[in-house]
Amino acid sequence: MMATLEDLTKKYDVDALELGYTKHYYDILDKDRYNMTKVLEIGVETGRSHRMWLEYFENATVYGFDIFEYGVDEFNRLQEGNPYLDRSVMFKGDQANTDDLKRFISENGGDFDMIIDDGGHTMEQMQVSLNYLWDELKSGGLYVIEDLHSCSGEWPHLYGYEVIKSGDTLTTDLLYSMENNDETITETNYISKERLSDIKRQVKWCRTKIGVDTYTNPKGYTYKWPTMLAFIRKL
């Protein structure tokens, strides 16, 4: 019997279960689990979730995109003994840098079944990546953005860096506009009006999901917003 996603989050010590994401991933992904052949994960860090996705999507090549701020050596150490490395491709780059995104696509191609943005969670990073990578998602593919509670303004208390610049459109507001198929958001600092209109025309559905109502980080700070993620299905 194949391991469930919940089993794998525990096996690899991935925070998706703690954050309340696993149940939503299961509802949307499980029926397509064995049909996935090309998956991109933005935000690899030390590779725990990367190993989880490699084992979960047993027929897929899983691409990792990360700045490897925490060290490539630590990442490589954690991959020792991983039986799925023949289906793993790593790329060092900045998700807010379109030159890096272009280079990644040039080297690895597009046509992804699924793209997961679990990167730095700034408005710029999330929206630049969506803007550029949307065309690299195949028809019927799934685009996922995790940790949307970064839009609450409390993120610096959790991770020590700002994620919202002056004048930024909150990514949650952008996604609510997609989900409700309205024109409350027509452009952002990182996605032009024409481009956003084009993206919205290709959205089959968009669903924002609550993970858990409260979350306390290892330092003892309790978030006042619930944890959130979003799924966008392309036509």
Neighbours of 192 (CB within 10 A): 13
d(CA 223, CA 216): 6
| CATH code of the domain covering residue 77 | 3.40.50.150
Residue 82: its pLDDT value, please? Answer: 79
Say how many domains are in the chain: 1
Asked if residue 44 lies in contact with residue 64, where contact means CB atoms within 8 angstroms, the answer is yes
For residue 224, give both structure tokens.
């006042």
Q: How many CA atoms lie within 13 A of 89 on its CB side?
A: 12
User: pLDDT tens, position by position, for the chain (235 residues)?
Assistant: 688 999 999 999 898 888 899 999 999 999 999 999 999 999 998 788 999 999 999 999 999 999 987 666 677 776 777 788 889 998 999 999 999 999 999 999 999 999 999 999 999 999 999 999 999 999 999 999 999 988 887 777 667 778 899 999 999 999 999 999 999 999 999 999 999 999 999 999 999 999 988 777 767 777 777 889 999 999 9
- Rg of the chain over Cα atoms, rounded to whole angstroms, equals 17
d(CA 170, CA 177): 11
For residue 5, give both structure tokens.
């996603």
Determine the distance from the C-alpha atom of residue 105 to the mean position of all C-alpha atoms in its chain, rounded to a whole number. 17
Residue 45: its pLDDT value, please? Answer: 83
Query: CA angle, corner 64, sides to 2 and 24, nearest 5?
Result: 50
Strand partners, 91: 65
Start-end of H helices in the chain: 5-11, 22-29, 48-56, 72-79, 98-108, 123-133, 155-159, 171-179, 193-201
Report residue 64: phi and psi, to 5°: -110, 135
Residue 222: its pLDDT value, please? Answer: 77
Domain around 201: 5-234
